[in-house]
A = this chain, B = another copy of it.
Amino acid sequence: MEMESCVPPGFRFHPTEEELMGYYLKRKINSLKIDLDVIVDIDLYRIEPWDIQDRCRLGYEEQSEWYFFSHKDKKYPTGMRTNKATAAGFWKATERDKAVLSKNRIIGMRKTLVFYKGRAPNGRKSDWIMHEY
């Protein structure tokens, strides 16, 4: 994504969790205009973690974090369980849920997921970590 034309030189996208939830996610959910399209839509279950970086790259800098929107895919049409499998593996939630605060008020939760290569209940844990807001 080419940003030089919109944001003055020297600015980098380093959002706080409050900005991610309170601005970007909130406006996305409400179909409101987002100032600058820095967070792209992907289908998380049709893309492997190592391919996400190319889709979500901002400018030409080295990045170690990428931002995206993705719909939740229901495992069964009537259930609440979500399908977190890709072709190569699956995302598994950890117990490390965290509240996101704005002005001392909880505005949402952050869930941490780890990518495992292979199929549950087996699979080899990888270094790919995702925060779901």
Residues of A within 8 A of B (CB): 6-16, 19-20, 23-24, 34-36, 38
Contacts and interface: CB of A to CB of B under 8 A. Distances in A.
Kindly report how many copies of this chain are found in the complex they form together. Answer: 2
Q: Which 7 A-B pairs have the closest CB atoms?
A: A10-B15, A8-B35, A8-B36, A9-B23, A11-B11, A10-B19, A9-B19
Contacts of A12: 11-12, 14
A8 B1 CA distance: 15
A17 to B, nearest CB: 10
Max count, chain B CB within 10 A of own CB: residue among A9, A15, A19? A9
A9 B19 CA distance: 6
A10 B10 contact: no
